């Protein structure tokens, strides 16, 4: 089953917790044991799994990526958003989570985050449950 | 269904668009809705999804990786290609794409790139459609 | 089929070859052709595929990550282990490997490594074979 939803990001770099939206699609699918693939169809955004209890964790992730890949650094791509493309390849455009007993089998502290690197924008997320 | 093809890279760092080869395997599989896994069986190369319209994007990705992980930096591995191994772990050895209506469900600007970090060489790519 | 095992790490940064444990679960599953997902339910650890013949390769990977993301760098997260969280998002919390003829279809030099970034600890690894 393929599901889809949109995410509104609030700044150039942003991390949005999308765990509930993904779990809703898993629940609607009726799949009890399987794999859930979360896929971002954009080239200046990504998706990652990390701690959700303290929002400072994802702030640190975004700021560290900004230090590693500065917005301006003599890039060739003329649109000016190369840093966002580079971060997308570092973080990745998909994650997968095991489904066990109808639930995303996440660790205690794990949440799924949409990672915006060239916002603010409205973005799409695709989810495949099998 | 498992498919496989080879890629000829042209320099130490290179990005080769393999989207058509992957779509051909998906089409031959006859799978209408599912997942396509693209897997690189090498430890000094990777695979990523990023913008294909402007080749400068992947040039910027490769150059940024080269700045983050320089070819020479006092590495322990005596073969001299540690930087390529490190980049392989940053970029990753596989990507997955949802198949919808027999097609790779890529975003408007997304293409699949084989990433060479220790070329030029002839490389293999494995594809699983399920 | 879902399997699970534990890994004992020996230092803050560590790479543990878990290929045999994963292959054992694949063998017990009886699956001949499919996909094996290896999933780390932690937010300060990851999993990667890289060269196993020379242990210096994974040492270089861990040391390069330490240079890119130093342990102390004015992070906001008060627990003090932000670097480990950041590395987890760079390396990723899962890998997938094609299963062919009942075996993990790894390249000649590829092994699967659990990556510890905030050890030493006892960790869990989940494996889904489908």
Residues B68 and B64: their CA atoms lie apart, in Å, by 6
Gap between the Cα atoms of B51 and B108, Å rounded: 9
Helix (H) or strand (E) holding C109: none
Q: Give pLDDT tens digits for B88-108.
A: 999 999 999 999 999 999 999
CB B109 within 8 A of CB B52: yes
pLDDT tens column, A73-129: 999 998 999 999 999 999 999 999 999 999 999 999 999 999 999 999 999 999 999
Q: Vertex B68, ends B67 and B74: CA angle to 5°? A: 95
Please give the CATH number for the structural domain made up of C2-129: 2.60.120.460
Q: How far apart are CA B122 and CA A77, in angstroms?
A: 28
Is ipTM strictly over 0.90?
Answer: yes
Answer yes or no: are the C-beta atoms of B35 and B99 closer than 8 Å: yes
Residues in chain A: 130
pLDDT bucket at B2, cuts 50 / 70 / 90: very high
Q: What is the pLDDT of residues C91-109, one digit of tens each?
A: 999 999 999 999 999 999 9
Q: Rounded CA gap, B19 and B113, in Å?
A: 7
For B100, the enclosing helix (H) or strand (E) is strand B94-100
Residue B84 to residues B3, B115, C50, C64: CA-CA distances in angstroms?
Answer: 26, 10, 10, 12
Rounded Cα distance between A69 and A65, Å, is 6
Q: What phi and psi, each to the nearest 5 degrees, are found at residue A18?
A: -115, 15
- The answer to whether the CB of B96 falls within 8 A of the CB of C96 is yes
Q: Could you read off the pLDDT of B102-125 as tens digits, one per residue? A: 999 999 999 999 999 999 999 999
Residues of C with Cβ-Cβ distance to A69 under 8 angstroms: none
Please give the order of strands across the beta sheet that includes B14-17. B14-17, B110-116, B45-51
Contact B41 C100 (CB under 8 A): no
Digit-coded pLDDT (tens) for C16-73:
999 999 999 999 999 999 999 999 999 999 999 999 999 999 999 999 999 999 999 9
Give the pLDDT score at B4.
98
Q: Can you give the pLDDT at residue C31?
A: 97
Looking at the complex, report in whole angstroms how far the Cα of residue B98 sits from the nearest Cα belonging to chain C. 15
| CA distances in angstroms from A81 to A65, A68, B51, B107, C69, listed in the order given | 14, 15, 11, 17, 23
In this complex, the chains that touch B, judged by 3 or more CB pairs closer than 8 A, are A, C
CA neighbor of A35 nearest in space, from C94, B46, B32: C94
Residue A94: which of B61, B96, B109 has the nearest Cβ? B96
Whole-angstrom distance, CA of residue B100 vs CA of residue C11: 44
Q: Which residues of B touch A68 (CB under 8 A)?
A: 68
The confidence score (pLDDT) of residue A23 equals: 98
Distance between CA atoms of residues B101 and C6, nearest Å: 40
Q: At a CB cut-off of 8 Å and minimum separation 6, what does B80 contact?
A: none
Mean pLDDT over A13-20 rounds to: 98
Query: Which residue, among C5, C9, C6, has the nearest Cα to C119 in the 3D structure?
Result: C9
Of C60, C95, C110, nearest to B86 by CB-CB distance is C60
Q: What residue spans of chain C are helical by DSSP H?
A: 19-29, 55-68, 82-91
Domain ranges of chain C: 2-129
Q: For residues B121 and B1, is the Cβ–Cβ distance under 8 A?
A: no
Please indicate whether residue A78 or residue A62 has the higher confidence score (pLDDT).
A62
Q: In chain A, which residues have their Cβ closer than 8 Å to the Cβ of B48?
A: 89, 92
Residue A27 backbone phi and psi in degrees, to 5? -60, -45
pLDDT in tens, B16-74: 999 999 999 999 999 999 999 999 999 999 999 999 999 999 999 999 999 999 999 99
């Amino acid at each position: 089953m393929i599901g889809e939803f949109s995410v509104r990001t609030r700044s150039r770099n942003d991390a949005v917790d999308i765990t509930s939206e993904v779990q809703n699609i898993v629940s609607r699918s009726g799949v009890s044991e399987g794999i859930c693939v979360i896929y971002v169809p954009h080239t200046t955004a990504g998706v990652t799994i990390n701690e959700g209890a303290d929002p400072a964790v994802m702030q640190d992730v975004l700021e560290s990526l900004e230090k590693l890949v500065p917005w301006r650094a003599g890039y060739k791509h003329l649109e000016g958003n190369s840093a966002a493309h580079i971060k997308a390849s570092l973080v990745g455009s998909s994650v997968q989570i095991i489904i066990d007993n109808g639930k995303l089998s996440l660790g205690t502290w794990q949440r799924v985050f949409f990672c915006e690197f060239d916002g603010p924008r409205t973005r799409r997320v695709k989810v495949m449950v099998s």
